[in-house]
């Protein structure tokens, strides 16, 4: 009886250890969630490699479906191979040859011995995996440091402004993002203002990851430098465009932005939309308005340079009004069927949300986006800001 009990305890212990190991491996995801995640990653990898393939050349040379399949597979393999360093390319080719032909070596001594080299191919693949993984870990560590630095550049908590409730959320496509959001009371009143206005900014640098994040950091520094003076919003916008043009790589790294000054005493907003997604203003009555007055994105080349104009818009906020500002990553989020979330769904979700607080409103909209996307891979940074005028 004691031996049966000990065996049962040992079995439960093994199951418990396996369960703990499996939990660590899967991070708590269910199998169907892991499969969906893998499919999304596979699609993203295919897009990366297929971008280097000349599909027109393959279509022109291929005869029949079988011929096109082999040419496509060969082209994708070459695209993947060229992503490696020269030494790793050679080792990968050696491993593939050893696995495909499975050669063996025979040694004749006192007795015959045979070594199958396919095992060497497996070992080479494992070493290549380990080396690539080490590179990934090193890069991830560097990206984590960059993410920490980027977090210093944006507010951790929204400012406390009487009569206003503000909330924001951001979700990078990678570890770092090209999206920028901010809300702060200007340290110096503008020349046209008697009091310190609240400045709200949401911007999106073209591109992703490190390059976009670096330009986002320079945009943040420029904005804070300009708003620390008595410059008007028009002057701030003009100077931001001038700076972005000087650092946009001939327009390839332009920046869309929505900048607004809210006069706290009168609750009037003066804003400029520089090629950004039109923010949604939901009035207390349920009426929807879009804030679309402005000009092109910052950094678009123009000749002469002073030919770009950024007219400003004005709106009067009232108690119960809610302003929703977002980047294109939100409306362009796609699900497994490659369908975009879209502005129609966003507006419907925004209208249906019972406004309790800015944070709760933002939380429910983001949850609606998450439910639509499911396990599909995120392809762009997502940032949103909600400003609620309290009653």
Q: Which residues pair with 171 in a beta bridge?
A: 382
Taking the alpha carbons of 191, 194, 195, 197 in that order, is the dihedral positive or negative?
A: negative
Alpha-helix runs per DSSP H in the chain = 2-26, 31-50, 55-61, 64-81, 86-101, 118-153, 209-227, 233-246, 328-331, 342-352, 358-373
**Which token pair is 353?**
């949300």
What's the pLDDT at 167?
95
| Residue reference for tokens 């294109």 | 328
Domains and CATH numbers, the chain: 84-153 (no CATH), 155-389 (3.60.40.10)
Q: How many CA atoms lie within 13 A of 85 on its CB side?
A: 6
| Distance set, CA 159 to CA 50, 185, 194, 200 (Å) | 46, 8, 20, 11
Q: What is the mean pLDDT of each run of 10 residues along the chain (391 residues)?
A: 59 71 81 78 82 83 78 89 92 92 73 75 92 86 78 87 93 82 82 77 85 86 91 91 80 87 92 96 94 92 72 95 95 90 94 88 93 85 94 75
Q: How far apart are CA 41 and CA 390, in angstroms?
A: 43
What's the pLDDT at 380?
87
| Global confidence as pTM | 0.73
What's the pLDDT at 340?
94
Q: How far apart are CA 375 and CA 391, in angstroms?
A: 39
Rounded to a whole number of angstroms, the distance between the first and last alpha carbons of the chain is: 73
Q: How many CB atoms lie within 10 A of CB 98?
A: 20
Q: How far apart are CA 124 and CA 374, in angstroms?
A: 37
Q: How far is C-alpha 271 from the chain's CA centre? A: 26
Q: Which residues pair with 11 in a beta bridge?
A: none
What's the pLDDT at 60?
76
Rg (CA), the chain: 28
From 315, 229, 220, select the one nearest 273 (Cα to Cα): 315
């Amino acid at each position: 009886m004691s031996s049966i009990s000990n065996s049962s305890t040992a079995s439960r212990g093994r199951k418990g250890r396996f369960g703990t190991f499996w939990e660590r491996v899967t991070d708590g995801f269910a199998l169907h969630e892991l499969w969906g995640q893998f499919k999304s990653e596979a699609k993203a990898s295919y897009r990366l490699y297929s971008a280097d393939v000349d599909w027109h050349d393959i279509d022109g040379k291929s005869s029949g479906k079988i011929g096109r399949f082999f040419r496509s597979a060969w082209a994708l393999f070459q695209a993947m191979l060229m992503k490696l360093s020269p030494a790793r390319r050679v080792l990968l080719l050696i491993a593939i040859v050893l696995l495909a032909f499975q050669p063996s070596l025979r040694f004749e001594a006192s007795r015959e011995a045979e070594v199958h080299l396919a095992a060497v191919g497996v070992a080479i693949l494992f070493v290549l995996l380990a080396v690539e993984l080490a590179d990934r870990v090193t890069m991830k560590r560097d990206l984590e440091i960059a993410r920490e630095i980027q977090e210093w550049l944006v507010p951790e908590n929204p400012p406390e402004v009487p009569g206003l409730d503000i909330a924001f959320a951001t979700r990078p496509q990678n570890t770092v993002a090209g999206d920028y959001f901010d809300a702060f009371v200007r340290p110096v009143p503008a020349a046209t203002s008697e009091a310190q206005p609240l400045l709200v900014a949401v911007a999106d640098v073209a591109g992703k990851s490190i390059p976009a994040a670096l330009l986002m950091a320079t945009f943040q520094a420029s904005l804070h430098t300009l708003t620390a003076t008595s410059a008007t919003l028009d002057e701030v916008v003009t100077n931001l465009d001038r700076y972005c043009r000087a650092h946009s790589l001939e327009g390839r790294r332009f920046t869309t932005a929505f900048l607004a000054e809210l006069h706290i005493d009168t609750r009037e907003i003066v804003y400029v939309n520089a090629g950004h997604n039109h923010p949604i203003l939901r009035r207390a009555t349920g009426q929807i308005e879009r804030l679309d007055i402005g000009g092109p994105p910052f950094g678009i080349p123009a000749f002469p340079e002073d030919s770009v104009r950024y007219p400003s818009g004005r709106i009067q906020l009232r108690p119960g009004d809610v302003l929703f500002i977002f980047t294109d990553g939100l409306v362009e989020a796609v699900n497994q069927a490659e369908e975009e979330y879209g502005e129609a769904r966003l507006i419907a979700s925004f209208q249906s949300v019972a406004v309790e607080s800015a944070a709760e409103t933002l939380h429910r909209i983001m949850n609606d986006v998450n439910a639509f996307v499911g396990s599909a891979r995120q392809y762009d940074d997502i940032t949103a800001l909600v400003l609620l005028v309290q009653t």
